[in-house]
Structure 1
Amino acid sequence: NVATTYLINSNVPGGGGFTPGQVQVVQDVNGNGVADPGEPVIAQGGGITLATGQSVNLLITGTIAATALPGQNAQLTLTATGQLQGATASNTDTLNIVNSAVLQVNLAASVATSTPGSSLGLTASASNTGNAAAGPVPVTVDGAATSLFVLRVPIPANTAFASAQRSATPGAQTLYHLVGAAANSYVSVVPPGAVVDAVAWALPGLAQGATLTGQITVTINANASGAITDTVSAGWSMSSQSGALSAVSNPVSVGLPLRPASINFYPNAGYGAPANVNLAGNPLFVQVDAAVCNVDPSQALSVPVTLTSKLTGDVENFTAVETGPNTGLFRILPNVPTANAATHTVASGDGILEVLQNDLVTASITSCGGVRVSASTTLLIDPAGVVYDSKTNQPVAGATVQLIDVTGAGNGGNAGGPAKVFQADGVTAAPSTVTTGPDGSYSFLLVPPSTYRLVVTPPAGYAFLSKLPAALQPAGRLIDTPGSYGGSFTVTGAAGPVHFDLPLDAGATGGLLIQKTANKAAAVVGDFVDYAVRVNNGTGINLRGTEVNDSLPAGFAYVRGTARLNGAPLPDPAGDTGPNLQFALGSIAAAAQPTLTYRVRVGVGAQGGSGINTAQAQSGSVLSNRASARVQVVGGVFSNKAYIIGKVYADCGGGGVQQPGDPGIPGVRIYLEDGTYAVTDEDGKYSFYGLTPRTHIVKVDNTTLPAGASLKVLSSRNAMDAGSLFADLTNGELFKA
């Protein structure tokens, strides 16, 4: 495993019909098979040192005298001898002189670098440096079969054909290849509406010493990025060889500014200005702008796009199809259907994106055609603010909300007048004054960039502006300071929604304030939710016997032993598992802010409830505000099906209970009464799922027990048969057998 030096020699054995001249060995540094300027020449007997596992490419170059005749041949031998052990390897090539065309095909670009939207010139040439003419190949021109020598320039990826110049070579005709046509089918005139993907210049043949040239101009796509690359080819034939031959040019590359891929939502199939809001139930129009994915300019390609809902967790995968060959623009066709998860079951992979009000949808792409690419964007669904009671966190109906354009930049110069508001399509006008319904919601979906403020006329018994600071507003509320308090706020960039929440005060709090939060905004049946209630004693006095009265929503149940006050265990509340709980906090010092935490389980019936948990603190006659937190219970995998789990083990100690060291028995087959069976795993465990809630019979297949093993009666459910067991299943029960 050491470096070795090899001595390189070349020679021309005698006896051939001609002798090559100026023979030399060149190290092919770039491995392109051509002796390029600057590549080192290895002198006769010169050495090359290689590390272990390293290799090198060598070329032998020379000249053939003009006096050499067809049919003559010569040999060239290359020998490498290792200095370390003296090992020798050699290679001998035979050169035969024949009458043949030799084609050199070249391509040049008009510039080395360019920009999207610019014109780019490409000049191609094919020269015959051999001693015979290059013959034609079969082609079709305007539907007629013929044979021509063809110099062909493909339209590069991420460009569009603009024009072709007549060849300076006498007798050459200009031909066009159209998208979708056969490989060797051309037209002499481009039909209206047709797309050109290659240009060719043709002759009956290319004579010895002749050159065929041609030039095209393309327009670089507006979304092109990185580089424009291309190669050209010549199609020809020789009478001494069968079939068509091809000669390929050098590649050219024109540098472009890097432009990252992007993805956007649009309000309709016109794909005009991008959108940042939409409505549940409306289709989503998605377009990916990724020139890097346009790896084959001759056909429309496709890329995978993933859409995700933040609130429902729904994930849907779609395929976006290129708008045409060589565009780099991809669209999900015809669109992405959506549904309101409040009334539609959430099911990932069903091709429908289930969303909720105030949801955030993310569209992303990570790869295309083997190319890594990263792009994502977001879209608000039904963005709406809520007018609510700052004490109870309950929505307030009957409040009038008016949007005022402070500067007039968005309503045509009417400073202080009503704002100009649009619906989700960005075209249809919407009112600038709305009145809240039972859910307290209001919405101004799209407004032009400007400075705005909200004027709220509350119903009787409420006041706007709220005196409760933003930090003490109920958790989960979207509070904009100063927008939620009647101050001015700015909408910049593209037209955007106004959807923050607006608190109203119903009366004084007496200085005792609470704030309630949940650790998740959405849950499914079977989930656990952690609540936190922060109590702020701002009365200025010590409060004794403080209690927190908490009302759980339908289907939510308190989990015993989970109550904590400032992290320390707290006795379980009065009220068992709910729904009405009473936590005893004891004394709270002036200015103290203790935090109560506890856990609930989301159970059957939660989907039909409001999901709103309301709490209020009390110390004697001092009452706090009512604080609430809402958890959206969405559809999921919940059903009334039941489950059976269990194990088969060797009761070595004879106690009837598995003890440490009692091994599970694998490979035992367990049957149900309908023939369904499971086989125990390496720990002796098995399970059945999706069972109808009724009585089932669990039966052991005795033939699968180990030799000498016998079963043991453990309970009356065995019915005196150790090999069977009655399992009474109820809705959603997890039964251990």
Structure 2
Amino acid sequence: MKLSQPPKPKPGAWRNWMHRMIAVLLAGSFGQAPFIAIARAAEINNRATFSYRDAERNISLGGTSAEVAVETASLIDPLGQILGCNGELLPNYDGFSVALYEPDASGLELGPIVPLTGTEVPDIENNGTPGGKAPNIENSNPFFLTNADAGQYNFLFDPDTPLQSPINAGLTQTSTDAQYILVVNPPADSVFPQRRIRLELVTSTGGVNNSIIRYTATALDGIPIGTSGGSQVSETVVEVFNAETQGLNLFSLALGMVMCDPNQVSITKTADRAAAQPGDTVVYRLELRNLTDIELESITVEDILPQGFQLIPESVTGVLNEQTVALDAQASGSEIIFTTTTPLPVDESMSVLYAVRVTPDALRGDGENSASVSAERSDNQFFVQDGPSIHRLVIDPGILTDCATLIGRVFVDKNFDGEQQPGEAGIPNAVVFLDDGNRIVTDADGLYSVECMLPGTRSGVLDLTSLPGYTLAPNLYFNERNSQSRMVNIAPGGMVRMNFGVTPTFQEEAK
């Protein structure tokens, strides 16, 4: 570019004028950079040439500016992509789909599916249908992933289309505070679980026509959204300009996320015996196995002991590949927390062994023990877990027992005193229901018994429908026995009696 015969500048002012010209040239070059914010870096090289003649002093000046390299941004299509847990492509995308829903009134469950404006590729002029974006060229919802597109997807929002859910009342698809739930559906036979991500449009970040909208994505399933490990991220929805349909510019939504196999670590609990008595020592083994394709770190095991079981701290041992590993065990009541800094290699197992002492208090428990494991993937620090693994040990009282015995009879009470005397026959096949749900049937002599009853206050009810022709006999001495039910107190290891007197419906039959 050459400039000739400009107005005469004041002495020394030509330098300022030249600098302004260079600045205008550079700014003009930079101003052509696209502004939509999903971009890749590109380099712009800018150089300006100038010449100037000062007629008053009869001198000519000229030169070339230094070359300036500027990083700018060139548009790429904003695409979401479904990847594996460590950011790799899935082996097969057949059967996977991505769908966009509005939330229901709670904001957590699925409401109506979002109706998206149809698009086309290639864009046919003057037919009223806006141009779309590959791979979802028709803006379908749901959109089925393909191996050819490497699990990529996208959706286009229409700023003029109203939303339907009560939680989005009065909002359009690009309004601030609009909420969506993005659902990734794996095939029915897939090991991957369904993923649900809640999206909330926050505000515009500026640009021409406020063409960049920010949103917050939150994982409703608690699994990290991307390989960075966060379950909440902020992203942008960007405008896709369509010269044919001014006013119908669509906004492209794309969110990359990962699919993780839920079975990444496993825990199995076993013991060295199936039954134990108070005073015995039981050895438990916890088997932790890495099912992922990467090392697991920060391994933590939470173990809940049954009532009456006490940890023997010096017995705690960790083993990996026949080598002892350091374990830290912290006991608080019945809860034990085992931790280790030793990583668990791929497809390997670590054993945690420890012993407990069975106390007499174990007789009052159920012998059930549960353990869970958690760890972090070494590549992206994703949290993985499994459990609880449950082991039940039968507690044999041995020489210590608090089992009680309940005995009783159902008989014809002729003198209404509540006690059976000679000549007062027992009633066979009478049914008594106990408070623990047991159904007891009397024998041919009207007798019944229950062994190993738990001590305490127990009750039983006579089922009169099992005694056709009989009704409850009145008791002339104890008012509390004028009822179908009986209540007794059973001492540990004791025996108690629960009798029921009945009488024929017609008294003459008893003569």
TM-score, normalised with respect to structure 2: 0.30
The structure with the greater share of residues assigned to helix is 2
TM-score, normalised with respect to structure 1: 0.23
Query: Which structure exhibits the higher relative contact order, with contacts defined as CA atoms closer than 8 Å and separated by 6 or more residues?
Result: 2
